[in-house]
Chains A and B, each alone.
Chain A
Amino acid sequence: MTWVGWRLQRTETFIVVGILALLAALLVPTGIQMANAYHHDGLAACLATSPNPACANAIGGFRQRFQSLLDLGNWFNLVPGLIGVLLAAPFILDLEHGTYRLAWTQSITRKRWLLGKIGMPVGAALVAAAAMIVLFTWWRSSSIHLDGRLDSGNYDFTGTVVIGYTLFALALALALGAIWKRAAASIAVAFIAYFAARIFVDIKVRDHLVAPLKLIYKGSQHPSVLANAHIVSMHGDLNGRRVIGDGGFFFGSTKFAAPRLDNIVFHVVYHPQSHFWPLQLTETGLFVGLAVVLIAFAAWWTTARTA
Chain B
Amino acid sequence: MNDTAAIRTSGLGKRYGSGWALRDCTLEIPRGSVTALVGPNGAGKTTLLHMVIGLVEPTDGTVEVFGRSPRRDAQDVLPRIAFVAQDHPLHRNLRIGEMLHYGRSLNPSWNQGLAVARIEQLGLSMKQKIGQLSGGQQSQVALTLALAKQPQLLLLDEPVASLDPLARREFLNAVMAAVADDGITVVLSSHIVAELERVCDRLITLAQGATQMDGSIAEIVASHRLLTGPRSDAASVARVHNVIRESHTERQTTLLVRANGHVHDSCWEQHEVDLEEIVLAYLGYQPGNGAAQAPALEEIAS
Contacts and interface: CB of A to CB of B under 8 A. Distances in A.
A1 B74 contact: no
A101 B107 contact: no
B219 to A, nearest CB: 32
Interface string B65-109: 000000000110011011101010111111000100111011111
Contacts of A105: 53, 55, 78, 81-83, 85
A7 B99 CA distance: 10
Contacts of A97: 89, 91-92
| Most chain B beta carbons < 10 A, residue from A103, A104, A107, A109 | A107
Interface string A3-19: 11001100100000000
B168 interface: no
Nearest to A10: B93
B89 A102 contact: yes
Contacts of B54: 104
Contacts of B101: 3-4, 7
A8 B98 CA distance: 10
A108 B79 CA distance: 8
Contacts of B93: 11
A99 interface: yes
B105 A1 contact: yes
A101 B149 contact: no
A2 B104 CA distance: 12
Nearest to B55: A307
A289 interface: no
A135 B232 CA distance: 91
A98 B102 contact: no
A4 B89 contact: no
- Secondary structure of the A contact surface, majority rule: helix
A106 interface: yes
| Most chain B beta carbons < 10 A, residue from A1, A3, A11, A106 | A106
A198 interface: no
Q: For this complex, into which size category does the number of interface residues on chain B fall?
A: 20 to 34
Given A3-B101, A7-B94, A108 B89 contact: no
Interface in B26-83: 50, 53-56, 74-75, 78-79, 81-83
A1 B103 CA distance: 10
A101 B82 CA distance: 11
Contacts of B85: 98, 101-102, 105
Interface residues of A, number: 21
Nearest to A110: B74
B106 A1 contact: yes
Interface string A285-307: 00000000000000000000001
Nearest to B91: A99
A106 B91 contact: no
Contacts of B145: 102
A109 B82 contact: no
A101 B84 CA distance: 9
Contact of A107 (B87, B98, B107): B107
Interface in B127-168: 145, 149
A103 B149 CA distance: 13
Nearest to B80: A107
Nearest to A101: B85
The 9 closest A-B pairs by CB, nearest first: A106-B106, A98-B89, A105-B83, A107-B79, A307-B56, A107-B107, A101-B85, A99-B89, A307-B55
Interface of B: 50, 53-56, 74-75, 78-79, 81-83, 85, 87, 89-94, 98, 101-103, 105-109, 145, 149
